[in-house]
């Protein structure tokens, strides 16, 4: 074998190894990106698919489970919200990011007098019951302070880097809002900024919105005395 031919073979081998390594590292890089930041975001905008969409993204199978039971949201949208030329404004954005999903859910409904009164009554009287390690209850927090532009019923208040609440806009209209791991206003895609708390970004820092952050609230977490210690029970069912 001539020296010239040997060099060509060696160059070919080196080129093959380099291409192989680049390919392998490329696959690893893409895998890390998908693992950390999720694949393409999923979006649903059709209010006719509201109930099945919330059911699909409620706690359950990994890959499409949000850490909420959507307690502040209605289970279904009453027919009156579709009458007299009205149509609910619905938007769900979901990305399966590492550890916790990133999400934004928004629903705006205008109801009949009867359905509006029934929904306000549901929000006022909603009770989340925990049975372990002992029976306890939690309710939606009512807040009509200047922190929000309208009165709200809070299921989650800057806990686990999330918000969930129903906002009573008056005139038979209610806006329902859920955000998870969207700590910056620039990342909000649909929810009107005026419907978010005035301290939205400040309240969603890691220090202020971690699982056990002081002043945060979640209807899905029960703090109970158990054998002389505080035991935190997390239950995301509705």
CA distances from 231 to 41, 137, 234 (A): 35, 14, 10
What pLDDT was estimated at residue 4? 54
Q: Are 152 and 168 in contact (CB under 8 A)?
A: yes
Distance, in Å, from the CA atom of 64 to the CA atom of 102, rounded to the nearest integer, reads 10
What pLDDT was estimated at residue 28? 37
What pLDDT was estimated at residue 76? 97
- Report the helix count and the strand count for the chain, using DSSP H and E: 5, 12
Comparing 84-88, 144-148, 188-192, which segment has the lowest mean pLDDT?
A: 84-88
Please check the confidence at residue 121 and state whether its pLDDT lies above 70: yes
Distance, in Å, from the CA atom of 145 to the CA atom of 81, rounded to the nearest integer, reads 28
CA dihedral 210, 179, 154, 106 (to 10 degrees): 180
Grouping H, G, I as helix, E, B as strand and the rest as coil, residue 165 is: strand
Please check the confidence at residue 172 and state whether its pLDDT lies above 60: yes
Grouping H, G, I as helix, E, B as strand and the rest as coil, residue 141 is: strand
**CA 46 centroid distance within chain:** 18
What pLDDT was estimated at residue 33? 36
What pLDDT was estimated at residue 39? 66
What pLDDT was estimated at residue 24? 42
| Average pLDDT estimate for 90-119 | 93
Q: pLDDT averaged over the chain? A: 83
Please check the confidence at residue 26 and state whether its pLDDT lies above 70: no
Q: Give 35's contacts (C-beta < 8 A, 6+ positions apart).
A: 98
Under the banding of pLDDT at 50, 70 and 90, the label for residue 30 is very low
Please check the confidence at residue 22 and state whether its pLDDT lies above 80: no
pTM of the complete model: 0.81
Can you tell me which residue has the tokens 């999923």? 42
Comparing 9-18, 95-104, 154-163, 212-221, which segment has the lowest mean pLDDT?
A: 9-18
Please check the confidence at residue 3 and state whether its pLDDT lies above 60: no
Under the banding of pLDDT at 50, 70 and 90, the label for residue 215 is confident
Q: Give 54's contacts (C-beta < 8 A, 6+ positions apart).
A: 70, 73, 75, 92, 105
């Amino acid at each position: 074998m001539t020296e010239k031919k040997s060099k060509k073979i060696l160059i070919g081998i080196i080129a093959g190894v380099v291409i192989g390594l680049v390919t392998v590292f490329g696959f690893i890089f893409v895998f890390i990106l998908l693992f950390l930041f999720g694949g393409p975001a999923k979006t649903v905008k059709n209010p006719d698919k509201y109930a099945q969409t919330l059911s699909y993204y409620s706690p359950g199978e990994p890959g499409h489970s949000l850490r909420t039971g959507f307690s502040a949201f209605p289970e279904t949208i009453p027919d009156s919200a579709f009458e007299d030329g009205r149509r609910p404004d619905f938007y769900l954005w979901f990305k399966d990011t590492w550890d916790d999903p990133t999400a934004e859910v928004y629903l705006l409904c205008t109801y009949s007098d009867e359905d509006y009164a029934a929904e306000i009554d549901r929000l006022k009287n909603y009770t989340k019951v925990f049975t372990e390690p002992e029976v306890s209850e939690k309710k939606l927090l009512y807040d009509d302070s200047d922190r929000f532009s309208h009165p709200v019923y809070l299921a989650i208040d800057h806990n686990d880097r999330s918000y969930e609440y129903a906002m009573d806009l008056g005139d038979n209209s209610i806006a329902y809002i859920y955000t998870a791991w969207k700590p910056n206003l620039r990342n909000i895609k649909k929810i009107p900024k005026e419907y978010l708390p005035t301290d939205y970004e400040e309240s969603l820092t890691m220090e202020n919105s971690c699982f056990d952050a002081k002043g945060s609230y979640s209807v899905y977490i029960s703090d109970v005395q158990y054998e002389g210690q505080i035991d935190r029970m997390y239950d995301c069912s509705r």
